[in-house]
Amino acid sequence: MDDLHKHISKLREDFTNGTLNESDVNEDPFAQFEKWLQQAVDSKIHEVQAMHLSSVSLENKPSSRIVYLREFEKNTFSFYTNYNSKKAQELLKNPNAAITFFWPDLERQIRIEGTIEKTSVAQSDNYFNQRPYESKIGAWASEQSYLLSSRKELEQKVEQLKKQYKPETITRPEFWGGLILKANYYEFWQGRKSRLHDRICYEQENNIWKIKRIAP
């Protein structure tokens, strides 16, 4: 264990892939997000859609997990979940949230803050209908965040649901759907040598995005 502690404490990575200046970025943060996302896709980064979602409970306790970005347009970012899950209940009670994308191959990170609301019923239905049959069954089967007596309990429920719902008849459960983050803050991080990273942020002032550099 001591060797592991020493190993972790000595890990170092010097970032040398690029730079980020105020003159480099688009005046529109969403356009800048799309640019970096496209570059990440073109670089064939694994799990490029994975984002770290942070919520806060009414007791001011933070909670974080990885979810998948599924839709995005003009400062909005959508993902899907069980509305009875811990994260959904936290987000619907306290809508302040943050998402983070980290692409180590590009030495880049994007932080986005905003508020959460449900997507429309039509949007949730449309996304659910595009999912594979097994994923649709999974949405019905999992009482997300609730206790299970065993793995077998979940597997038995899946088999029961497969008998109840056929691929051509299964519809979205009312307790499952989309959540959308509406952005009010962006930060673009480019790793630099000696931990002197570039951090360019966008803040809204009178409905105008202001570009600022902050210290690493």
CB count in 10 Å sphere of residue 144: 17
Which member of 111, 172, 195, 213 is catalytic?
Answer: 195
CA dihedral 52, 95, 25, 216 (to 10 degrees): -60
At 152, which helix (H) or strand (E)? helix 151-164
State CA 67 to chain mean position distance: 5
The answer to whether 193 touches 132, Cβ cutoff 8 Å, is no
Q: Is the dihedral of CA 169, 164, 153, 90 positive or negative?
A: positive
Told to judge if 172 belongs to the known catalytic residues of this protein, a careful annotator would answer: no
190, β-bridge pairs? 108, 198
What residues are labeled active site? 195
